[in-house]
Structure formats: C-alpha cells, structure tokens
Amino acid sequence: MASDSFSQPDANPSDAAAKAALNSLQQQESDLKRAIAELQANYSRLLSQQSQQMQSDLSRLVRENIDELEQRRRSLQLEVEKLERRRDRIQAEMRTSFAGVSQDLAIRVQGFKDYLVGSLQDLAAAAEQLEFQSPAPAAAPPSPAAPAEAPAAPSFGNDTFQDQSDRVRSLLDQYRMRPDYYGPVWQLRRTFEPVHSDRVANWFFTQGGRGAIKSMGSRLQNVLIASAATSILYTLYGSRLRTLVLSNTPERLGEWRRGLQDCLGISKADFGTGRGVMLFDSPDALAQRAERIASTDGLPLIVIDEAEGQISLALLQFPLWLAFAPDPMNPTPDYDFY
C-alpha cells in the first residue's frame, strides 16, 4: 500500500507534460498549416500579379510596335507622295526643258525623214515610169459612137445608194463593237469609239462624203477618223480608191504616214505615186494628181489636215474630200505629237 501511494503522484506530472507537449505540437501544426495557407495565397497572388503585369507589358509592347509601324507607314506614304510630286515636276520640266525639246525635235526629224524617204521612193517610181514609157500612138479621130459609160461617182446622200449605205453602217458597227487589231491590210485596226463613229457616219450620210468635220484636237484622233473612212471606201471600191493627204509641212506628213500605217496595217510600199496613199504639201499638185486618178477610172479621196488655213477651190470639184476644221471654241496653233 505504501508503494502504490508513492507511485501515483509520479504519474500525474508525466501525463501533464505529455499533454502539454501534445498541445504544443498541435499548436505548431496549426501554425504551420496557417503559414502554408498564407504562403499559397501569397504565391497565387504573386503569380496573378506577375501574369497581369506580363499581359500589360505585352499589350503595351504590341501597342508601341503598332504605333511605330503606323508612324513608319505614314512616313513612307509621305515620302512616296514627295517622290510622285518630284516625278511629275521632272516630267513637266522635261516637256519644257532641253530634254523635252530634244525629244520634240527628234520626232519632227523622224517625220521629216519618213517624208523624204517616201518622196524619194515616189521620184524613183516616177523616173522608172518615164524611162520605160513608150511613145503614145497618134490619137485617132473621135468616133461618133456613144462614149463608154464611166462608173458612177459615189453619192452617199441619195436613196439609190441604200445598199452601200447599209454596208457602211455595218462596217461602222463592226469597227466600234468588234475591233480586229490583227485584221487584213486596209481594215481599221484600232479602237473606234462612238464619237469617232458618229463623225464618220455624219460625213458619209449627212455631208455625202464631201465636207469638213470638227477636229478631234489631236492629229492621232483625226488620222483614226480618216483611216476609218479610207477603210470603208476601200471595202466598197477596192483598188480604185486613192487617198491623197494634204498638209503644209513635211513633219506633219510624216505623222500622217505613220498614223495611217498604224491604223490600216499598210506599209511604206503602199505610199507613193500610183499607190494607195499619196502625201502632198501643195494643193495644186494634189489637184493635178486627183485629176489624173479620176481620168483613169480611179477614185480620189482627199484628206485635208487641220493645219491648212484654207481650202483650195480646185479640191472641191472631186466627189470625196474630208477636211478637218479647227474647233472655234478651242483654237490650237498646232497638234500635240503622239
């Protein structure tokens, strides 16, 4: 009994210490859990802040790059506009400076060269004809028999010409709506607008193939109209047709030569005495040639350039003549070269 009474007091302090230690450990566990939770919360908060910061920085960087690119685009656009203005200024200066004048002179020289080459070819052909021509036999006394009936001159304004008038309208529609840029020789090979078609139709049907029409303002456009009339007449009359062009300078005649070649697909061999197209700088020489053509059953078509200040009365006797009249509302001293 005595031993039991002494051991009981020793056990109580031990239990108390164990209990205290357990409480301490539990407290530490609770503190650790709370610390872990705080650390996890801090980590999540820091991670969220860093993510937001990265997104903000990335957005800011993208905006800055976009702004920089936009600024560079505007700068480049301004540079392009400056270069375009400089190009236009240089082109304007070239037209008025020595370079532009030199180009103008080169065009004139080329036209004069073409005219000289054609004239020399005409002279050579005329010389060959004179060299090999045999003396004409003595003319027989006129016979009382009735003279042979000459082919009727075209009269596009008469009702009796209805069949050919329909053909003319058909050709005008073809040139306007179905252009053939690689068609046969003497067929129009260029774009033919309604304004051109209207003027050619008016010349055929209202003026009867004899009259002046208002100039288009450039020799190229006038050549196109004359080429259309030539093409139609060649379709109707074939090799009887002879186109005689009158202009007062070799340069302009050279431009007519190049323009007709371009529009009708003809070559230099088609120009000259006895050929399809003849060029003249004198109305008297043209009238004499037209008389010879008419006397041999030919059909002369006289084309008069706008630069001619007046029309010789000797040219008005022929059935076909087309003159280009300057626009009185917009007079021009000369054409633009093309």
Cβ atoms within 10 A of the Cβ of 309, count?
7
Q: How confident is the model at residue 336 (pLDDT cuts 50, 70, 90)?
A: very low
Amino acid identity, residue 174? Q
Question: Cα dist. 135→89, 139, 293 in Å?
Answer: 66, 12, 20
| Among 62-66, 110-114, 171-175, the least confident range | 110-114
The span from the CA of 224 to the CA of 255, in Å, is 12
Q: How confident is the model at residue 147 (pLDDT cuts 50, 70, 90)?
A: very low
- Please say whether the dihedral angle defined by the alpha carbons of residues 266, 270, 275 and 280, taken in this order, is positive or negative: positive
Average pLDDT of span 251-271:
92
What is the C-alpha radius of gyration for the chain, rounded to an integer number of angstroms? 49
Q: How confident is the model at residue 75 (pLDDT cuts 50, 70, 90)?
A: confident
Kindly state which CATH superfamily the domain 155-325 is placed in.
P-loop containing nucleotide triphosphate hydrolases (3.40.50.300)
The span from the CA of 301 to the CA of 237, in Å, is 11
In the prediction, which pLDDT does 122 show?
64
pLDDT tens-digit series, residues 151-201: 455 555 454 345 688 899 999 999 999 989 998 999 999 989 999 999 999
Average pLDDT, the chain: 80
What is the three-class DSSP state of 300? Answer: strand
pTM equals: 0.55
Question: Domain ranges in the chain?
Answer: 26-120, 155-325
Q: How confident is the model at residue 148 (pLDDT cuts 50, 70, 90)?
A: very low
Q: How many angstroms from the chain centroid is the CA of residue 313?
A: 39
In the prediction, which pLDDT does 231 show?
96
Question: Cα dist. 61→46, 50, 51, 65 in Å?
Answer: 22, 16, 15, 6
Q: How confident is the model at residue 238 (pLDDT cuts 50, 70, 90)?
A: very high
| Among 113-117, 155-159, 230-234, the least confident range | 155-159
Residue 243 pairs in a beta bridge with: 277, 301
Question: Cα dist. 336→9, 79, 217 in Å?
Answer: 135, 33, 8
Q: Report the candidate in 107, 103, 87 with the shortest Cα–Cα distance to residue 95.
A: 103
Classify strands 320-325 and 210-214 as parallel, antiparallel or unpaired. parallel
Average pLDDT of span 324-328:
82
The span from the CA of 331 to the CA of 153, in Å, is 35
pLDDT tens-digit series, residues 276-289: 999 999 999 999 99
